Amino acid sequence: MPESPVVEVSPTKMNDIEITIATNLPDDSKDVEKEVVSEPPAFKHTWSVWSIFLVLCLFSFLSGLDGTIVTTSLPTIIREIGGGEQLYLWTAQSFFFSSTAPQPLFGQIANVFGRRNPFLVTIALFALGSGLSGGATSAAMLIVGRIVQGLGAGGLYVLSDIIICDIVPPRHRGPYLSVVVSTAGIGATIGPVVGGALADSNWRWVFYLNLPISILGFIVMILLLKVKHKRNPTWLYALKRVDFLGAFIFIPSMISLFLGLITGGIQQPWSSWRTILPLILGVFGWLLYHFHQATPSLCPFPSTPPRLFTNRTSVIGFLLIFLSSIILQSIAYFLPLYFQAVKLVSPLLSGVYYLPFALAIIPFAGSAGFLLSKYGRYIPLHYCGFALLVLGSGLLSTLTVQSSRAAWIGFQIIPSAGIALVFTATMPSTLVALEEADVAVATATYSFVRSFGFVWGVTIAGVVFNGQVDTYLYLVKDEGVRGLLRGGAAYAFAASGEGIKGLADESTKGQVIEVYARALRVIWLVVMTIALVGLLCIPVERRIDLRKSHVTEFGLEEEN
């Protein structure tokens, strides 16, 4: 009888597949080799996942709320602590600048220091900024508080999405992401209403409201957010992995660019050097930043790696969220103006009339999340979403002073459904072609691109609106009233509450309303064009199956 061969078995682990290989076999025994494959454990919706998710939704709601809550409470705040016109500008914009510009850096920090500690720090910053703002005794103190609060909110935006991507596999992320998107949208929508209500009693609770919720969320996250993280050997090594130079270039550049885009045509003419210079510096700094990121000798650990933009599916994902963010912000900014300037309701009531758009996002986002989880197909959702945006913005362009309540409610729901589908499906499609190791930096980049789209939404729609108002001013026969609307003043005139309603002459009032109606119609046609561009980009995407499981070094620790 021949001697049995000696068999050595060496296990090799490759990602989520374990392979056992028989070695040192004689040539005629190769058929003894066998492969044993073990799949990663199936994803489970545990109580820890649900609890963490609820806290993330709560902070998403608060972040959205605090972005808009001061708009109706600022007059009361100014009367008490002073500050004048500059407080109007910087209280809102300081929050936006500090919450948006550092977002790419937060993704890299999450890779270097893990998810848990940075998330706890951002909660603390958000609470600290809320406390400073609520206790403000001067305009300067309020602005500093809003900056700190914005830093915390920016971290919450980015880290919430990253944590969801860590604990939930790609195939199951849809429902979770849809609810986070919905809660943020609801917060941003009801912000002015809540701010106005709190200002009537005690404006400081506009900010103090965040404190008990932040404390509760902080405690829950300490107890439940126990995620895996491979610690760096030393603090010095960890700090060397942070792209401080990139942040030093990127953050001031973005603030400069945002300042030019937001104030251009409103606080300053587009032709003013005060608008042109920030735009030039911002664009130059942004180009310099990407050169720095693409140069390994200068930036060995980039916070926005160029490889994120080398896959066509991911690039289209970034583009689609940018375009849909422009559309969302244009609607959010100018649909309430339709109610104020054409339907002649108060700013507060216009926020109530806008609720159908905000609330309709919830069921449609939930449906999109369910479909994404069940079938794993994101391209059909992109097509449906942008088709609804084209249809919805086209219908909005038909709104006039005679439009019925049924019309303006129904016409809001259609683009709302489109936004829900696109916002739910774009993050999974953006990440699907990338490595799991890039989830944090890709999610941070995605979050920034989304916020950048919001800036362009206000800018593009604002430029179109002001230009169209000036074009149609010939309809207004009263030269004095024309002066009140000319040169970018029309938005503030309508939003002032008694602007149009305060006009004594009914004929002049009707002429002014017609100017607003025509200008708004052009905005909706521009929005429809942007949606058409998005629709034409979708065929470039590749269909890639969303995985039902994933392997990440930052997942939740196993429960005993």
Question: What local confidence, expressed as pLDDT, does residue 41 receive?
Answer: 56
Asked if the model's pLDDT at residue 402 lies above 70, the reply is yes
Which residue, among 116, 109, 100, 137, has the nearest Cα to 440 in the 3D structure?
109
**What pLDDT is recorded for position 13?**
37
For the ranges 15-24, 497-506, 517-526, the maximum mean pLDDT occurs at: 517-526
Three-state DSSP class for residue 10: strand
pTM listed for this prediction:
0.84
Percent above pLDDT 70 for the chain? 88
- Identify the pLDDT of residue 17: 38
Confidence band for 527, pLDDT divided at 50, 70 and 90? very high
pLDDT at 15: 38
pLDDT higher than threshold 70 for residue 208: yes
For the stretch 345-366, pLDDT in tens is 887 788 788 889 888 888 898 8
Spatial CA neighbour of 197 closest among 60, 356, 65: 65
Report residue 488 CA to chain centroid gap. Answer: 27
Instruction: Tell me the pLDDT of the chain averaged across its residues.
Output: 83
Amino acid in the structure at residue 53 = F
Taking residues 281-291, what's their average pLDDT?
A: 95
Distance CA 18, CA 26 (A): 24
- Select from 428, 143, 159 the least CA-distant residue to 313: 428
Average pLDDT estimate for 83-110? 81
Determine which helix (DSSP H) or strand (DSSP E) holds 505, and give its type and residue range. none
pLDDT tens, 113-164? Answer: 888 899 999 999 999 999 999 999 888 899 899 999 999 999 998 998 888 8
Q: What is the CA radius of gyration of the chain?
A: 26
Structure tokens at 388: 């609804």
DSSP class of residue 299 equals -
Q: Specify the amino acid at residue 471.
A: T
**Residue ranges in 103-138 assigned as alpha helix (H):** 103-113, 116-134
Q: What is the mean pLDDT of residues 493-520?
A: 83
Per-residue confidence (pLDDT) for residue 497, from 0 to 100:
57
Task: In whole angstroms, give the CA distance from residue 551 to residue 12.
Answer: 16
Burial of 377 (0-12, 13-18, 19+ CB in 10 A): middle
Q: Closest Cα to residue 455, out of 62, 85, 96, 184?
A: 96
What DSSP line would sit under 353-394, residue for residue? HTHHHHHHHHHHHHHHHHHHHHH---HHHHHHHHHHHHHHHH
Which amino acid makes up residue 460?
I
Separation of first and last alpha carbons in the chain: 51
pLDDT at 392: 96
Lowest mean pLDDT among 100-114, 179-193, 412-426, 476-490: 179-193
Average pLDDT in the 386-411 region?
Answer: 95
Asked whether the predicted pLDDT for residue 198 surpasses 70, the reply is yes
Q: How confident is the model at residue 276 (pLDDT cuts 50, 70, 90)?
A: very high
| Banded pLDDT at 10 (limits 50, 70, 90) | very low
pLDDT at 16: 39
Share of the chain above pLDDT 90, in %: 37
pLDDT value at residue 252: 94
- Each residue's pLDDT tens digit, 16-65: 333 333 344 444 444 434 444 445 556 666 777 788 888 888 888 888 88
Q: Residue 320 above 80 pLDDT? A: yes
Token pair of 288 as six digits: 């310099």
pLDDT of residue 376: 84
